[in-house]
A = this chain, B = another copy of it.
Amino acid sequence: MLTISCGLNLQYNPTFVIRKRSMDLREIIISSSKEAYQIYVPHISVDTVIFGFNGDRLTVLLLKMKFNEQWFLPGGYLKKDENLKSAATRILKEKTQLDHIFLQEFSVFSDLNRSEETFKDFPDDLWHKKRFISVGYYALVNYKNISLIADELSESCDWIFLHDLETLPIIMDHHKIIKKALSALRKQISYKPIGLNLLPEKFTLPELQKLYEAILGRSLNRGNFYKKIKNIGILKKLNEQRKGGAHKAPDLYTFDRENYFRILQNGISNW
């Protein structure tokens, strides 16, 4: 089982981990601002929306700030010597220890005054108080074997069910960013195969249908789904059945990896 320790959003580098124990949060933020000017490109940030699937419903990974009890997406800034994709990968790893996750860019958030409010009580030259244009990345992971623990500063991080988001206090426009990511994910399954790394090596068609239903947020007609998913050409039927259920043992399938990756590259041809 992989254990994830969620880091503090304002923790830029290892020296901070030591220093912050003897500082209060306000001082940490002000001090991190000075470092930020040296390391990062101003005005550009990255937010990552990590959707989790455990065989049933979709969740999203959120962190919790201690100083105002609000939740936020794993995010950070663009270093002067990296591109956005590298930044997103690095930030996700720093904040959640999640590694080797394929991150898909989906939208840019550039409204005026989207981030200024959060740091309104801080000095005007605070890095975090600048106008930031945030580039969103999303990923979909199987979190069945991942457990999360908060770090020593008592921030917590958790997989939040999508339907619980509405009532959760979430900072800035992160709610809008999550919605847009979900909309992008739903579009993606119109032209890209999905499921590898989310389902076990061998799976049944009802299990695959559950994944599609969890993403789309609605039930699908079984016969129609089976016909369409088989037509894409990414499934290999195995000579085995899933035993032990109350019903007739369903056939097991696996992904035809060669076709899967070819179609992932070229897109599902709907025309």
List residues of A whose CB falls within 8 A of some B CB: 41-44, 78, 80-85, 105, 107-108, 110-112, 131, 133, 135, 186-187, 189-191, 212, 216, 220, 224-225, 228, 267-268, 270-271
Contact = CB atoms under 8 A, between A and B. Distances in A.
A181 to B, nearest CB: 14
Nearest to A218: B271
B41 A190 contact: no
A186 B78 contact: no
A267 to B, nearest CB: 6
Given A84-B108, A190-B268, 13 more contacts: A41-B43, A80-B131, A81-B112, A82-B112, A83-B111, A85-B110, A105-B107, A187-B267, A190-B270, A190-B271, A212-B271, A228-B270, A270-B270
A233 to B, nearest CB: 15
Contact of A78 (B83, B110, B228): B110
9 contacts: A41-B43, A82-B112, A83-B110, A187-B191, A187-B267, A189-B270, A190-B191, A190-B270, A228-B270
A82 B112 CA distance: 7
Contact of A42 (B42, B81, B111): B42
A165 to B, nearest CB: 20
Given A41-B43, A78-B133, A133-B78, A271 B216 contact: yes
A132 to B, nearest CB: 10
Contact of A133 (B84, B131, B191, B271): B84
A32 to B, nearest CB: 20
B81 A110 contact: no
Contacts of A135: 108, 110
A187 B133 CA distance: 25
Contacts of A267: 186-187, 190
Nearest to A189: B271
Contacts of A270: 189-190, 228, 270
Nearest to A136: B108
Nearest to A215: B271
A31 to B, nearest CB: 24
Contacts of A112: 81-83
Nearest to A216: B271
Contacts of A105: 107-108
A220 B186 contact: no
A44 B108 CA distance: 12
Contacts of A82: 112
A78 B85 CA distance: 22
Contacts of A83: 110-112
